[in-house]
Amino acid sequence: MGEEEDASGRPIASRSSSWATGMSAWVARTGVTPNSISLFSILFAGIGAALILLTTQTIAMIGAAVSMQLRLACNLLDGLAAQAIETLASRSHWSLLITSVTIAAGSLVTCITRTINLSRSLERS
């Protein structure tokens, strides 16, 4: 176990990036709670899923990819914010996390399904 390993036991390079540490410090100063950041994570996952489900336009797929990256950034920041303000994970935090993971998994399944269907339709053409 090295020095770069944090309290969760998983070394993740993005946690020590300048943008992540700066954002987590800003979040701690403003009083934004980890749970509210998790809500934004769920919102971005839902937007990404809706874009994938409702259209196949290229710009929508790019929007879905951006939404998923924003969801991942929120997921990183809520953990950093919780450490910065020294709070323990509450039950509501875990329910938000489970909901976010469920939405993300649904988005992934939908994306894979649409990709398979698109490749099949291209093969027929």
Identify whether 63 is part of a domain: yes
Cα angle 104, 108, 36; round to 5: 15
pLDDT of residue 2: 42
The tokens describing 28, both together, are: 């701690």
**CA-based max dimension of the chain:** 58
Identify whether 3 is part of a domain: no
Q: What is the mean pLDDT of residues 23-47?
A: 83
Measure the CA–CA gap between 60 and 109, rounded to whole angstroms.
17
Q: What is the mean pLDDT of residues 38-66?
A: 88
pLDDT score of 58 more than 70: yes
Domain region containing 54: 13-124
Q: What is the mean pLDDT of residues 5-34?
A: 70
Name the more confident of 2 and 38: 38
Q: What is the mean pLDDT of the chain?
A: 77
- pLDDT tens digit string along 25-36? 777 778 788 888
Report the number of distinct structural domains present in the chain. Answer: 1
Q: Is 17 helix (H, G, I), strand (E, B) or coil?
A: coil
